[in-house]
Amino acid sequence: MVAEQLEARGITETAVLQAMNTVPREKFIADTYEAHAYVDGPLPIGEKQTISQPYIVALMIELLELQPGSIVLEIGTGSGYAAAVLSRIAAQVITIERHEKLVWSAQERLMALGYDNIIVMQGDGTLGCDDFAPYDGIIVAAGGPTVPVPLKEQLKIGGKLVIPIGSNQRKQQLYQVNRRDAYQFNEKRKGPVSFVPLIGQAGWQE
């Protein structure tokens, strides 16, 4: 997976490649799909949600440009896979999921696997989490119509926010948002993606 799906497609950050090589993806999906754990595509995890394809996980994390000691906010815990990968790079990961069943299963799974620098919370991810802000990086695993203002406000100056944005709930452009100062943000488009809708007060309405 690392050689053929990541390095071959331009993922070069050593810390990201090492983290992707370390986290066992098969532990984050149902037994039914275990044989497909390392295919280059998303897989269902319940509650009409998916675990993203490995390349997209790696790309989004690489775009955060994390440094040792970083504190990261993830929106859309899902199975906990991306949070686990992030936890091998960042000092602490705060991850928010709106589906209660996924919250409990992710907490149980991450605890059992020994990922002890991850805090899983239930809530409206579009509002972020002020308790641990500001964040060095924010990653959003769902597509919104615009970049949620609360997430921009919780981003540290110099930090980066990676999020799919688009007017279509199933087709988006991946954006890297860099906070230059208290009021200015630079946005760069990084290519087309397809994510589940970002539901919440500052996203799509359910």
pLDDT mean over 9-24: 97
pLDDT mean over 20-44: 93
**Is 64 part of a structural domain of the chain?**
yes
Residue 169 has pLDDT above 90, yes or no: no
Domain that holds residue 36: 2-193
Q: Is 52 a catalytic residue?
A: yes
Contacts (Cβ under 8 Å, ≥6 apart) of 63: 160, 162, 174, 176, 190
Which among 105, 107, 172, 18 is positioned nearest to 162, based on CA atoms?
172
Q: Binning pLDDT at 50, 70 and 90, where does residue 170 land?
A: confident
Q: Binning pLDDT at 50, 70 and 90, where does residue 68 land?
A: confident
- Average pLDDT value over all residues in the chain: 95
Residue 106 has pLDDT above 90, yes or no: yes
Q: Which among 52, 70, 79, 105 is annotated as catalytic?
A: 52
Q: Binning pLDDT at 50, 70 and 90, where does residue 46 land?
A: confident
Contacts (Cβ under 8 Å, ≥6 apart) of 103: 77, 97, 120, 121, 122
**Is 206 part of a structural domain of the chain?**
no
Kindly report which listed range (11-25, 30-44, 117-131, 139-153) carries the lowest average pLDDT score. Answer: 30-44
**Is 203 part of a structural domain of the chain?**
no
User: In CATH, what number is assigned to the domain containing residue 133?
Assistant: 3.40.50.150
Angle at 29 between CA 43 and CA 170, to 5 degrees: 25
- Total number of domains in the chain: 1
**Is 198 part of a structural domain of the chain?**
no
**Edge-to-edge strands of the sheet including 118-122?**
118-122, 92-97, 71-75, 135-140, 155-168, 171-179, 185-193
pLDDT tens for 178-205 read 999 999 999 999 999 999 999 999 999 9
